[in-house]
Structure 1
Amino acid sequence: MTAEPVIGVVGAGAMGAGIAELAAREGCPVRLCDASPEALGRALAATRDRLRRDVEKGRLEAAAADAAMARLAPASLAEVAAADVVIEAIVEDLAAKRALFRALEAEAGPGTVLATNTSSLSVSAIAEVLEQPGRLAGLHFFNPPTRMRVVEIVRGAATSDATIAALAELARRLGQHVLHVGDTPGFLVNHLGRGYTGEALRILDEGAATPGAVDAIARGALGFRMGPFELLDLTGLDVSAEVTRQVWQGFGEEPRFRPAPIAGRRVAEGLLGRKTGRGFYAYGADGKIVPEQHQHLDAAPVPVRLLDIAPDRAPDVAGLFPAALLGDDPAAVAVVGPIGTDVATEARRLGLDPLRVVGVDPVFTGLATIAGVDPALTAGVAASVRSAGREAVIVRDGGGMPAQRIAAMIVLVAADAAGRGLAAPADIDAATRLALSYPRGPLALGDAVGPARIAAIARSFLALTGDPRWRPSAWLDGRIAAGKTLAESSTLGGPAPN
Structure 2
Amino acid sequence: IVPKETILATNTSSIDLNEMGSVLKRPERLVGMHFFNPAPVMALVEVVQSTETDSEVADMVFSLAEQWGKNPVHVRSSPGFIVNRAARPFYSEALAILKEGGTDAATCDAIMRECGGFRMGPFELMDLIGLDVNYAVTCQIWESYQRHPRFAPSVLQKELVDSGRLGRKSGQGFFEYGVDVEMQAPKNAPESPAPASIILEGPEKLPQSLLKLIEGGSLKTKSNSGNGIIRLPAGAAVMISNGKSSTERSLDLEENVISLDLCLDYFQSPRIALAPASQCSANALQEAVGLFQSLGKLVSVLKDIPGMVLTRTVAMLSNEASLLVQEEVSDAAGVNLAMRKGVNYPQGPLEWAEQWGLFSVVETLDNLRKFYGERYQVSSWLQQKAKHN
Please, which of 232, 237, 246 is the counterpart of residue 343 of structure 1? 246
Show the 5 A alignment for 1:10-89: none
Task: Report the counterpart of residue 300 of structure 1 in structure 2.
Answer: 192
Decide whether aligned partners of structure 1 residues 308 and 471 sit closer, same or farther in structure 2, where only a CA change above 3 A counts.
farther
1:390 aligns with 2:317: no
Please, which of 320, 335, 340 is the counterpart of residue 413 of structure 1? 320
1:361 aligns with 2:261: yes
Residue 267 of structure 1: SS of its match in structure 2? helix
2:341 and 2:207 mapped to 1: Cα distance? 34
Please, which of 48, 61, 71 is the counterpart of residue 154 of structure 1? 48
Task: Report the counterpart of residue 234 of structure 2 in structure 1.
Answer: 332
Decide whether aligned partners of structure 1 residues 125 and 320 sit closer, same or farther in structure 2, where only a CA change above 3 A counts.
same
Contact 1:335 1:360 in 2 (8 A): no
Task: Report the counterpart of residue 152 of structure 2 in structure 1.
Answer: 258
Q: Which amino acid aligns with 1:201?
A: L
Decide whether aligned partners of structure 1 residues 156 and 220 sit closer, same or farther in structure 2, where only a CA change above 3 A counts.
same
Deviation digits for residues 194-251 of structure 1 (CA, Å, limit 9, x no counterpart):
1222212211121111111111111222221222222222222222222222222222
Range with bigger deviation, 135-144 or 258-267: 258-267
1:481 aligns with 2:387: yes
Residue 313 of structure 2: SS of its match in structure 1? helix
Structure number with higher relative contact order (C-alpha < 8 Å, ≥ 6 residues apart): 2
Deviation (angstroms), 1:438: 0.8
Please, which of 207, 211, 214 is the counterpart of residue 101 of structure 2? 207
Deviation digits for residues 4-53 of structure 1 (CA, Å, limit 9, x no counterpart):
xxxxxxxxxxxxxxxxxxxxxxxxxxxxxxxxxxxxxxxxxxxxxxxxxx
Residue 164 of structure 1: SS of its match in structure 2? helix
2:199 and 2:96 mapped to 1: Cα distance? 30
Deviation (angstroms), 1:299: 5.3
Matched-pair identity in %? 31
Contact 2:102 2:308 in 1 (8 A): no
1:223 and 1:210 mapped to 2: Cα distance? 19
1:295 and 1:123 mapped to 2: Cα distance? 46
Deviation (angstroms), 1:252: 2.4
Residue 300 of structure 2: SS of its match in structure 1? strand
Task: Report the counterpart of residue 489 of structure 1 in structure 2.
Answer: none
Contact 2:188 2:298 in 1 (8 A): no
TM-score, normalization: structure 1?
A: 0.67
Decide whether aligned partners of structure 1 residues 481 and 333 sit closer, same or farther in structure 2, where only a CA change above 3 A counts.
closer
Decide whether aligned partners of structure 1 residues 170 and 312 sit closer, same or farther in structure 2, where only a CA change above 3 A counts.
same
* Number of aligned positions between the proteins: 371
Task: Report the counterpart of residue 205 of structure 2 in structure 1.
Answer: 312
Deviation (angstroms), 1:383: 4.3
Contact 1:339 1:363 in 2 (8 A): no
Q: Which amino acid aligns with 2:100?
A: E
Decide whether aligned partners of structure 1 residues 334 and 435 sit closer, same or farther in structure 2, where only a CA change above 3 A counts.
same
Decide whether aligned partners of structure 1 residues 310 and 261 sit closer, same or farther in structure 2, where only a CA change above 3 A counts.
farther
Residue 151 of structure 1: SS of its match in structure 2? strand
When the two chains are superposed, the root-mean-square deviation of aligned CA atoms in Å is 3.0
Residue 215 of structure 1: SS of its match in structure 2? helix
Contact 1:298 1:379 in 2 (8 A): no
Show the 5 A alignment for 1:165-176: 165-176=59-70
Please, which of 233, 246, 250 is the counterpart of residue 127 of structure 2? 233
Deviation digits for residues 85-143 of structure 1 (CA, Å, limit 9, x no counterpart):
xxxxxxxxxxxxxxxxxxxxx4x344332222111111222333334333322211001
Q: Which amino acid aligns with 2:183?
A: P
